[in-house]
Amino acid sequence: MSDNSSSSSSTNAFFAGRHYFVLLAILLLFIGLVGRAGYLQVYNQEFLLDEGSQRQLRTIATPAYRGSIVDRFGTPLAISTPVDSVWADPRQALLDKPGLEKVSELLGLDGEQVETKLKQRADKEFVYLKRRIEPELAQQVVAEAKGVYLQREYNRFYPASEVVSHVIGFTDIDNIGREGLERIYQDWLKAKPGARQVLRNRKGEVIEEIAQVTAARPGNDLQTSIDMRLQYITYRSLAKAIKYHAAASGSAVLLDASNGEILALANLPSYNPNQSSKQAAEKRRNRAITDVFEPGSTIKPFTLAAALDRALFSSNDEIDTAPGYMKVTGYAIRDFRNYGVLDLAGILRKSSNVGASKIALAMESQELWQAFNDYGFGQPTGVDFPAASAGYFSHYTDWQPLDHATMAFGYGLSLSALQLARSYSLFANDGILNPLTLVKQDEQPPGRQVMKAVTARSLLKMMEEVVGPKGTAQQAAIPGYRVAGKTGTVKKTAAGGGYEQDSYMSVFAGIVPVSNPRLVMAVMIDEPQQNGYYGGQVAAPVFKEVLTHALRLMNISPDDLSTLQQIAQAAGREVL
């Protein structure tokens, strides 16, 4: 009995000791865990925050590229290329000041300014340090410091640079269109970034793709009506003329006569859209669309057309312009010299102000106004462009008799180079006025018949004499082709009113080939200072140079074989 009691007591003592041992072990483990937690919380808090923030699930943006802009044949005019932007998490980056200083040095930034910027945004998780840098430099930067990361973006690049900058425009650093087609078609071109969940390591690198939240959508491409072959030629020819004549500026517009598509549009001075922030606003203005000028004698064909349309004159009618001037309400309207009796073609060929004024005054002011209004003066061209001008054309009720007379030769109204080119397309389209476009059309929008077809053809034949041997635009003649056009030499308005005596705009508008009109071009050169200032001397040669190349590139057959035969015979060759 006593042995059993002794054995039972020993067993109970053993189990009691083991129980206390287990409790003691659990207590020590608990104390160890609490101590470790306290140690980590007190002494390693920043380390844990840093590690936790760099090893976590995040939703990040998936970049998408903006739509490209191309010419009518697909040549790139504006494209998006991938680049990297450097950003930082201020809470992490400020813990590594030596690394942050190295990053600032690599990025060419002031270290103190970068640190101040991050401190001011310490409550943020995302602060840009520098955007759009070279990939090689970007990789160097992120290797230098904690809390500095890369974000993939797209940079806009313009391969043709200043040659077509006024048409295409440019985007800002956030890829938002600010000028030109980039601005007009912002909603069409813009991309829609996506979103995805990823797991990042402590270096900020994505180590695992978890899920696609929303898919990225690239922007839509835009095909323009511009032919870059003709655009380069137009820009080069305009630049050469401006340099040769020491002019202030110039514009040129080339149209497809059949459908209103703009094949080339050039302005000088120009700018480089790849460095748009460094360019003066004055250079960024699309003068061919936004700037207006009095067109001078280039309006005379429309004065004659208005009279012919109303059967007030016929092509064979003659007008006495002697003695070379006429007075309207005491103001003298003068010709260059006394041309005597001229038919309507002669009025254009000699560019007679007196003849044009007599024709205009034979019409009621309302009739002349209505005709010019129908021909597109003072009307939008159909091109939706920032700051596009509809020109200035006052209502006939505001005209004085002198206004009525001078309107006949292009004083008292203003239009842009684009409007002038559009109006001249009437003569190429049998009197149909088409809306213009900078975007390639799948279907041609309907035009309006605003001039009788027979009138348009008659004026086309008259203007062919202007480019002939006895006309004012001999330098617009293109061997092998019948060319029609009209010159204009316009005195510039003075700041205090009236006109300056020695400051001009030289203008020419023309059509080719006359037998089957395909191309219309208007050229305006502002303030030529040397080597002449008449439209036939300054603007007409630009037309000739551009159209000579255009006709060949577009494979348009010659329609004046007799002239080619004469040239060939003079050179001892034979035309087949």
- Could you list the active site residues? 297
- Angle of CA points 454, 460, 464, to nearest 5°: 150
> Residue type at 505?
M
Tell me the HSE value of 458 on the side-chain side, using a 13 A CA sphere: 20
The region, left, alpha or beta by phi > 0 then psi within -120 to 50, assigned to residue 34 is: alpha
Q: How far apart are CA 373 and CA 391, in angstroms?
A: 11
Q: How far apart are CA 53 and CA 146, in angstroms?
A: 11
Q: Within a 10 A sphere around the Cβ of 221, how many other Cβ atoms?
A: 16
Helices 97-107 and 111-120, axial angle in degrees (round to 10): 120
480 and 564 Cβ atoms separated by less than 8 Å: yes
Which of 474, 472, 463, 473 shows the shortest CA–CA distance to 513? 463
Bridge partner residues of 157 (DSSP): 79
Which of 248, 292, 295 shows the shortest CA–CA distance to 490? 295
Pairing relation of β-strands 222-223 and 318-320? unpaired
Q: Within a 10 A sphere around the Cβ of 283, how many other Cβ atoms?
A: 17
Which of 459, 455, 451 shows the shortest CA–CA distance to 431? 451
Pairing relation of β-strands 222-223 and 69-70? parallel
Q: How far apart are CA 569 and CA 575, in angstroms?
A: 8
Which of 264, 234, 267, 67 shows the shortest CA–CA distance to 166? 267
Q: Which two tokens stand for residue 405?
A: 């007379």
The region, left, alpha or beta by phi > 0 then psi within -120 to 50, assigned to residue 387 is: left
Q: How far apart are CA 562 and CA 572, in angstroms?
A: 15
Name the 3-class secondary structure at 266: strand
DSSP string, 518-545: -EEEEEEEE---SS--SHHHHTHHHHHH
Pairing relation of β-strands 392-393 and 413-414? antiparallel
Q: How far apart are CA 450 and CA 376, in angstroms?
A: 9
Which of 181, 207, 6, 200 shows the shortest CA–CA distance to 78? 181
Which of 170, 191, 181 shows the shortest CA–CA distance to 67? 191
Pairing relation of β-strands 331-334 and 325-328? antiparallel
Q: Which two tokens stand for residue 194?
A: 């996506």
499 and 306 Cβ atoms separated by less than 8 Å: no
506 and 250 Cβ atoms separated by less than 8 Å: no
